[in-house]
Amino acid sequence: MGWKDILVLVAEAEADEPALALGEALASQCDAQLAAAFLTPLPDEPLAYEPTVVAGVWAELLSRARQEAEAERKKVEARVGRFERTCELRSAEALSRDLGRVAAVHSRYADVAIMTRPSEGAGGELREEIVEGVLFHSGRPALIAPPNWKGGTIGQRVVVAWDASREATRALSEARALLGASAEITVVTVDAKPKMFGHGDQPGANIAAHLARRGLKADVRNVDSMGRAASLAILEEANALQADLVVMGGYAHSRLRELVFGGATRDLLRVANVPLLMAH
């Protein structure tokens, strides 16, 4: 069964245009209901010795944040009003440190959550927080739109980043909603070695056979990283194949903020120029 309930998570109209465009295209492609959740990050309570000072300063900060958010929400409302399909606009607010969990809760009531890829600079850390919340706490797949994504079809040429892990298996399962209409599916492994408790005798062959039993033809490419990061090897292969989607597992190595994402997950989130479908 395909996706019928799609949610786009947004915080800024201009910065999140790629996610909005991807949501619109995917809803049309899947004949699905589309909704957008506008997320407002609220400032943390300031530290001070005098409680009355804290209350006054924080009230002012909250008021300013809500005013700025309302102006941005109206821009998002105008944008989704131009969609060809009806798009429900929801709103949610939370302290910045809690916004990822709030996004996860909203994502549980959709088939997939779409977000714009985090980037360096202002807002990048908050976007990582939101992606992290959805990926690790919602139970739903996260679809990440790269900057400057302009629209078009998605899932026609798919790269499956395969490492025989539970996370990669889960991501591939979530991608079935799109794979049935794919023209090309390529299973890509990086520096894969035959292992009894992993790839088996021929890396990539078992999962390609599984897809074939579901009526999906998949080619296998076993890539030598040649000293490159696995994420770079995957991305270069995806670009060479003109892929419009990369499917991969999302990894968490530690709850420490700077170590939350595994290497390939973190790196692809920062540099991918094609949409990423991730699940944990």
pLDDT of 149 above 50 = yes
Q: Which amino acid, residue 137?
A: H
Ordered DSSP codes for 101-141: HHHHHHHTTSSEEEEEPP-SSTTHHHHHHHHHHHHHHSSS-
Q: What is the mean pLDDT of the chain?
A: 89
Q: pTM of the full predicted structure?
A: 0.91
Q: What is the tens place of the pLDDT at every residue in 213-249? A: 999 999 999 999 998 888 889 999 999 999 999 999 8
CATH topology of domain 157-279: Rossmann fold (3.40.50)
CATH topology of domain 5-145: Rossmann fold (3.40.50)
Ranking 26-30, 69-73, 112-116, 194-198 by mean pLDDT, the lowest is 194-198
- pLDDT at position 230, please? 87
CA distance 203 to 199: 5
Q: What is the tens place of the pLDDT at every residue in 73-124? A: 999 999 999 998 899 999 999 999 999 999 999 999 999 999 999 877 667 7
Task: For residue 168, name the pLDDT band (cuts at 50, 70, 90).
Answer: very high
- pLDDT at position 59, please? 85
- pLDDT at position 265, please? 67
- pLDDT at position 254, please? 42
Segments making up each domain of the chain, as ranges: 5-145, 157-279
CB-based contacts of 207, cutoff 8 Å, min separation 6: 160, 162, 164, 172, 187, 218
Higher pLDDT, 208 or 127: 208
- pLDDT at position 46, please? 72
CA distance 206 to 199: 8
Task: For residue 54, name the pLDDT band (cuts at 50, 70, 90).
Answer: low
Task: For residue 250, name the pLDDT band (cuts at 50, 70, 90).
Answer: confident
Give the pLDDT mean for 240-259: 73
Two domains, one topology: 5-145 and 157-279: yes
Task: For residue 150, name the pLDDT band (cuts at 50, 70, 90).
Answer: confident
- pLDDT at position 228, please? 86
Q: Which tokens in the block code for residue 174?
A: 């979530």
Quote the longest CA-to-CA distance of the chain.
Answer: 68
The two beta strands, 112-116 and 142-145, are parallel
pLDDT of 255 above 60 = no
CA distance 253 to 261: 6
pLDDT of 258 above 60 = no
Q: CA dist 243 to 3, 174, 193, 203, 217, Å?
A: 20, 18, 25, 21, 16
